[in-house]
């Protein structure tokens, strides 16, 4: 026994020392101010590695592929490599940490409205302010012939969405804004004319949440009627809202003045504003066949919902055979009711894009910037549009010309562009430690599911007060 102990102890100590040698690969805090060069040698020989998600059916990789020919005309000796990873809300931390641990870190990180905060806090991506500043200076010097001016040519607020402590980190590839699709045939069957003034969205007569509720109630009554059943709508619902999608629930919460946390980071979900919002949502559930449960299937329910919140472009929506030629769009309904004190409407929006890795330095970083710059150039944006990116371009000129939805001019494409002042991105996690982001997100998703689908797979019938209490507990657990 003594001999075994004497043999094992040094072995363990040796292994412990070896383990010490394997100090993990970690990223240091990057400089926020660094030297940039916008003059990259066109003959540079390099490889750019780009992180792309595999969980979107290859969509983002397809967009990058569309950019490669044009970029390689500028830099013929640059090769693009993909770092394909499973990226989802649940597994983002796991994915990024395995990327970093491997030591084989891509030059460009894929990000979106929720992920960017984690990437910044973990030092994964650098502030792009030095590039924006250099591009603006060049733009001013050359009278707009060269360089970039976000203020002049782009929807700058989408660039601002990846801000942290006043610095921007991600270049968005397009505008993602939630709109309200509606199924024209279904509405007509329910006795709602296309000229119904509730389906208007103008400065004088905006499309409001109350309009939506009134329309949904009419559709719900029709679904539950003999005629509705006879017409084959017995399994239909009025609205597919996806209330557990942050772009939707965040806009509703902001409109009601409801917050997950206050400015000091304290849990603030237990408020009269949240209660008012919760009662409104539960009222929708109680009113009959209005809210389609989250667990039952495909987008727009194959024509079995009358309204659908989505950020997809019309060409993507048209792939749904059941509604292919029979849909139109309105902006996200404005939650605007002065009598109820609701005067701060919000429309959910977000971004998907790429940030430059903090481990990519010098000329390689400048080259990575050139790729991002090409992505948001007119030529790059057209390449993305031709590759099927059917959401509005991040460039004002292309967006307003409706280049992004050729062939769908009969649809109200202004739905994506209207009320730009009301557009908000998700920031509900920003006062907390980044490691809590996804747990906070989960807590709010559960909250919305409990409110809007109280008999779903994951919950029993609960009062709105119980839902708020559970949300407060879940948020406390998330930020413990």
Partner 1 sequence: MMTRAKTGAAAAVVRAPRGRLKKRLKASVTGWLFILPMTFGICVFTLLPIIQSLYYSFFDYNLVSRFDFVGFGNYADIFSGDPEMGKVIVNTLLFALVNIPVTLVGSYLLALLLNVNVKGIKVFRVLYYLPCTMPAIVSGIVWSYIMRYNVETPGLFNQFLAALGLPMSHFFYADNFGAVASIVLMNLWSLGGGTIIWLAQFKNIPKQLYEAAEIDGASAMRRFFSITLPMSTPMIFYNLITNFIVTLQFNGTLTFAPNNGLGNGQATYMFGLKIYHEAFRRSNMGYACALAWVLVVIVGLVTVLLFKTNKWVQYDN
291 strand-pairing partners: 239
Pick the binder of partner 1 from 1, 19, 145, 321 (CB under 8 A). 19
341 contacts partner 1 (rule: CB under 8 A): no
Is 459 near partner 1 (CB under 8 A)?
yes
Candidates 9-17, 39-47, 253-261, 370-378 — which segment interacts with partner 1 by CB under 8 A? 9-17
| Neighbour-count burial for 414-435, b at 16+ CB within 10 Å, e otherwise | bbbbbbeebbbbbebbebbebe
- Residue of 2, 5, 10, 26 interacting with partner 1 (CB under 8 A): 26
Quick check: 265 binds partner 1 (CB under 8 A)? no
Is 339 one of the binding residues for partner 1 (CB under 8 A)? Answer: no
Task: Tell me the per-residue interface mask from 29 to 68 with partner 1, x by CB under 8 A, - otherwise.
Answer: x---------------------------------------
The residue length of the chain stands at 480
The binder of partner 1 chosen from 100, 125, 170, 187 (CB under 8 A)? 100
Cβ neighbours for 179, distance < 8 A, ≥ 6 positions apart: 309, 310, 311, 329, 330, 331, 332, 415, 416
Q: How far apart are CA 295 and CA 134, in angstroms?
A: 48
Instruction: Verify binding: residue 94, partner 1, rule CB under 8 A.
Output: yes
From 63-71, 261-269, 335-343, 466-474, span contacting partner 1 (CB under 8 A): 466-474
Q: In 103-241, where do the E strands start and end?
A: 108-112, 163-164, 167-168, 171-172, 176-177, 179-183, 237-240
Mark the segment that binds partner 1 (CB under 8 A) among 8-16, 156-164, 173-181, 275-283.
8-16
Residue owning tokens 């304290």:
266
Q: How many residues belong to the site for partner 1 (CB under 8 A)?
A: 45
Question: What is the end-to-end Cα distance of the chain in Å, rounded?
Answer: 46
In whole angstroms, the minimum distance from the beta carbon of 181 to partner 1 comes to 24
Figure out which of the listed residues 2, 10, 24, 165 binds partner 1, where binding follows CB under 8 A. 24
Q: Interacting stretch for partner 1, rule CB under 8 A, among 21-29, 130-138, 174-182, 313-321?
A: 21-29
* Closer to partner 1 by Cβ: residue 108 or 192: 108
Instruction: Match 């202004």 to its residue by tokens.
Output: 414
Nearest to 190 by CA among 224, 156, 157, 147: 224
Pick the stretch among 94-102, 138-146, 150-158, 181-189 that binds partner 1 (CB under 8 A): 94-102
C-alpha dist (Å) from residue 126 to 130, 131, 247, 416, 438: 10, 11, 25, 30, 22
Residues 195-254 contacting partner 1, CB under 8 A:
none
Residues 395-454 that bind partner 1 (CB under 8 A): 435-436, 438-439, 442, 446
Q: Which is nearer to partner 1, 89 or 221 (CB)?
A: 89
Q: Which of residues 118-147 bind partner 1 (CB under 8 A)?
A: 122-124
Q: Does 477 engage in binding with partner 1 (CB under 8 A)? A: yes
DSSP symbol at 419 = -
User: Residue 137: phi, psi to the nearest 5?
Assistant: -60, -45
Q: Beta partners for 81?
A: 49
Among 73, 90, 151, 378, binds partner 1 (CB under 8 A): 90
Least Å distance between CB 445 and partner 1? 9
Contact 256, 273 (CB under 8 A): yes
SS (H, E, C) 212-275: HHHHHHHHHHHHHCHHHHHCCCCCCEEEECCCCCHHHHHHHHHHHCCCCECCCCCECCCCHHHH
Nearest Cα to 287, choosing from 369, 212, 195, 368?
212
| Closer residue to partner 1 in complex, CB, 44/436 | 436
- Compute the distance between CA of residue 190 and CA of residue 57 in angstroms, rounded to an integer: 36
CB 308 within 8 A of CB 181: yes
**Cα 215 to Cα 284, 304, 392, distances in angstroms:** 12, 15, 27
Q: Is 12 in the site for partner 1 (CB under 8 A)?
A: yes
| Candidate segments 93-101, 144-152, 183-191, 302-310, binder of partner 1 by CB under 8 A | 93-101
Instruction: Pick between residue 318 and residue 471 the one whose CB is nearest to partner 1.
Output: 471
- Confirm or reject binding of residue 16 to partner 1 (CB under 8 A): yes
Distance in Å, CB of 297 to partner 1, minimum: 11
CB of 55 to partner 1, least distance (A): 16
**Cβ pair 444, 258 in contact under 8 A:** no
Q: Based on the shown chain and the rule CB under 8 A, indicate whether residue 473 belongs to the binding site for partner 1.
A: yes
- Residues numbered 342 to 361 that lie near partner 1 (CB under 8 A) are none
Provide the mask over 288-317, with x wherever binding to partner 1 is found by CB under 8 A and - wherever it is not: -----x-xx---------------------
Q: Tokens 């008999």 identify what position?
A: 455
Cβ closer to partner 1: 349 or 451? 451
Q: Site residues (CB under 8 A) for partner 1?
A: 12, 15-16, 18-20, 22-24, 26-29, 90-91, 93-94, 96-97, 100-101, 122-124, 293, 295-296, 435-436, 438-439, 442, 446, 455-461, 470, 473-474, 477, 480
């Amino acid at each position: 026994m003594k001999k075994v102990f004497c043999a094992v102890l040094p072995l363990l100590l040796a292994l412990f020392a070896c383990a010490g040698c394997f100090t993990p690969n970690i990223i240091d805090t990057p400089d926020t101010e660094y030297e940039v060069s916008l003059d990259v040698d066109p003959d540079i020989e390099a490889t750019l590695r780009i992180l792309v998600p595999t969980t979107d059916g290859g969509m983002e990789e397809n967009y990058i592929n569309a950019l490669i020919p044009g970029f390689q005309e500028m830099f013929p000796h640059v090769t693009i490599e993909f770092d394909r990873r499973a990226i989802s809300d649940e597994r983002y931390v796991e994915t990024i940490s395995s990327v970093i641990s491997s030591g084989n870190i891509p030059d460009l990180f894929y990000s979106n409205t929720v992920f960017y905060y984690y990437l910044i806090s973990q030092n994964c991506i650098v502030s792009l302010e030095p590039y924006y500043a250099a591009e603006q200076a060049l733009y001013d010097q050359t009278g707009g012939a060269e360089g970039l001016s976000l203020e002049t040519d782009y929807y700058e607020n989408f660039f601002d969405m990846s801000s942290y402590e006043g610095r921007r980190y991600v270049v968005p590839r397009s505008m993602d804004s939630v709109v309200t699709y509606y199924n024209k045939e279904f509405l007509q069957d329910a006795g709602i004319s296309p000229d119904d003034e509730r389906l208007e969205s103008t400065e004088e007569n905006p499309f409001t949440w109350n309009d939506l509720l009134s329309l949904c109630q009419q559709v719900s009554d029709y679904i539950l009627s003999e005629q509705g059943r006879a017409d084959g709508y017995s399994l239909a619902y009025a609205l597919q809202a996806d209330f557990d999608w942050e772009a939707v629930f965040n806009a509703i919460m902001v409109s009601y003045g409801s917050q997950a946390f206050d400015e000091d980071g304290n849990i603030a979900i237990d408020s009269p504003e949240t209660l008012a919002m919760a009662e409104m949502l539960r009222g929708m559930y109680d009113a009959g066949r209005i809210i389609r449960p989250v667990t039952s299937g495909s987008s727009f329910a194959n024509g079995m919902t009358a309204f659908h919140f989505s950020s997809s472009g019309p060409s993507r929506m048209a792939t749904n055979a059941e509604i292919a030629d029979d849909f139109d769009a309105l902006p996200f309904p404005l939650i605007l009711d002065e009598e109820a004190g609701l005067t701060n409407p919000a429309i959910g929006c977000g971004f998907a894009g790429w940030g430059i890795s903090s481990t990519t330095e010098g000329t390689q970083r400048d080259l990575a910037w050139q790729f991002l710059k090409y992505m948001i150039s007119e030529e790059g944006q057209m390449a993305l549009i031709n590759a099927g990116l059917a959401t509005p371009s991040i460039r004002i000129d292309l967006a307003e010309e409706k280049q992004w939805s050729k062939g769908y001019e009969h649809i109200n494409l202004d739905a994506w562009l209207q009320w730009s002042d009301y557009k908000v991105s998700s920031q509900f996690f920003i006062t907390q430690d980044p490691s809590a982001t996804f747990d906070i997100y989960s807590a709010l998703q559960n909250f919305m599911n409990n409110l809007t689908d109280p008999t779903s797979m994951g919950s029993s019938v609960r009062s709105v007060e119980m839902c708020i209490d559970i949300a407060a507990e879940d948020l406390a657990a998330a930020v413990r």
